[in-house]
Amino acid sequence: MENSTRFINAFNLIEKELERRLRFDRYIGFVEKVRRLSKSDNTIKRYHRLLEEFSDLRNAIVHERIDGEVIAEPHLKVVTQIEHVAQLLTEPVLIKDRYLRKVDIAFDHQPLHTIAKRMVNKAYSQLPVYDASHRFVGMLSTDSMIRYAVANEFCLDDETITVKDVLPYGKDTQRVAFMDPERSLIEVVNLFEAMILKGQKLHLILITKEAKKDHLPLGVITTHELPEIYEEITE
């Protein structure tokens, strides 16, 4: 198959996806579709400049011919690129495809010394904490334990100290988001980047049913996973 044919096939897939997302019953051009969706759809916003470039090349392939022959045959690299973007938009990789796994948690009523020892043994720097109703109540971190220790001069073996006692000492550093497992990896990256633009740092995303706080986690995504996610979605 010629590169131009592969390019047009991928372009058509993208245009159909734009129409599906736009839900507009009157015809508008490809670039206008992109511009309108970019205002509300962060995935399209992410690729809008590239999509506009694809539109220019598509017009050259379709409208600029000599004796019926295409004069703008795209390079294989460009064809591979548009096919990848078409796949990202029409068949996105979802969180559930990569990041569902058992998540170690703590309950707020548990003795701190028990959880602290577990964190040391498993080299955890933080753990999600839930109450008896399985509602998320915060993150227990090594930093929060240090703050608590300095403020209260406690002994780690003191069984009267619970995880709940320490949580307030870490609230100012915790930034946790919740996402549904049906969300795409592009949406994951968009969320991390949106927090950065606000001057804040998102520490992790807990994957829960319907992105609710009162469900135990089905998986977790931290900043450590971002490099591999970027590699997956790079166009």
CA 62-66-71 angle, to 5 degrees, is 55
- Asked if the structure places residue 172 within a domain, the reply is yes
pLDDT band of 132, cuts 50, 70, 90: very high
Domain limits at 33? 3-91
Report whether 58 contacts 52 (CB < 8 A).
no
Same domain, 177 and 229: yes
* Bridge partners of residue 107, in order along the sequence: 130
- Asked if the structure places residue 24 within a domain, the reply is yes
DSSP character at residue 204: E
Same domain, 87 and 111: no
Out of 30, 58, 91, pick the residue that ends a domain.
Answer: 91
Specify the number of domains making up the chain: 2
Same domain, 73 and 159: no
pLDDT of residue 206: 97
Same domain, 83 and 136: no
Q: Can you give the pTM of this predicted structure? A: 0.82
Out of 59, 91, 123, pick the residue that ends a domain.
Answer: 91
pLDDT band of 173, cuts 50, 70, 90: low
Q: What is the pLDDT of residues 21-41, one digit of tens each?
A: 998 777 899 999 999 999 999
Q: What is the pLDDT of residues 196-221, one digit of tens each?
A: 888 888 989 999 999 999 999 999 99
Same domain, 172 and 221: yes
Is the predicted pLDDT of residue 42 greater than 80, yes or no? Answer: yes
Same domain, 31 and 144: no
Average pLDDT, the chain: 90
